[in-house]
A and B are shown apart, each in its own frame.
Chain A
Amino acid sequence: AQSVTQPDIHITVSEGASLELRCNYSYGATPYLFWYVQSPGQGLQLLLKYFSGDTLVQGIKGFEAEFKRSQSSFNLRKPSVHWSDAAEYFCAVGADNAGNNRKLIWGLGTSLAVNP
């Protein structure tokens, strides 16, 4: 069965420091991978996605993620974190059910705190 694991429940970094949020997935075929961000009191916003092609994908707000098939990972990175990046980050993998009923399988999220 498809699954997504985000090993870090909570991460704290200093403003200006680099960031890497981990995501591991379990999926038999080529995955469709996503990172979403949820600011406090808000809905989820799509940061970036990977479908095929270049394994390093760029997203909004200066984020990037790298798909590594050999490690079943899709880690999110940012070279310099801003205080406004404090939020909850969710990794998700697209999964086809029987009958092509597409949905996303979600990780439990990583909460990011940014120290000034």
Chain B
Amino acid sequence: DARVTQTPRHKVTEMGQEVTMRCQPILGHNTVFWYRQTMMQGLELLAYFRNRAPLDDSGMPKDRFSAEMPDATLATLKIQPSEPRDSAVYFCASGLVLSRYGSSYEQYFGPGTRLTVT
């Protein structure tokens, strides 16, 4: 059945290293969201794309984070350099927006990438 996939599921890295997380949205979905979840902040929207174009990345620390969609089947979130405060679970979600009146807000989540930066 169709689902969002994320790799890796777990990542442990040292401070200063580059981290790349990947997401494969559900085939046919045209919107991709990146979230970060921590105990303290809950679920935070980092960025989202529609038809591969970034619509909003205001929730993302610009100096170290970057998000891209090289093609319709792949979204990436990079952190360079990583810091211990980046330790969190990062979720990707996808959805389908057809038009202002002909679509829904439903988002389908991947299993997440648990990142630990030491």
Contacts and interface: CB of A to CB of B under 8 A. Distances in A.
Given A51-B104, A102-B97, A103-B33, A43 B42 contact: no
Residues of A contacting B: mostly? strand
Contacts of A45: 109
30 contacts: A32-B104, A32-B105, A34-B106, A42-B112, A43-B4, A43-B93, A44-B91, A46-B107, A49-B104, A49-B106, A90-B43, A94-B104, A94-B105, A97-B56, A100-B100, A101-B55, A102-B31, A102-B103, A102-B105, A103-B33, A103-B45, A103-B56, A103-B105, A104-B45, A104-B105, A104-B107, A106-B43, A108-B42, A109-B42, A109-B43
Interface of B: 4, 31, 33, 42-43, 45, 48, 50, 55-56, 91, 93, 97, 100, 103-112
Given A45-B109, A46-B106, A104-B45, 19 more contacts: A32-B105, A42-B111, A43-B4, A43-B91, A43-B111, A43-B112, A44-B91, A46-B107, A46-B108, A51-B104, A94-B104, A94-B105, A101-B55, A102-B97, A103-B48, A103-B56, A103-B105, A108-B42, A109-B42
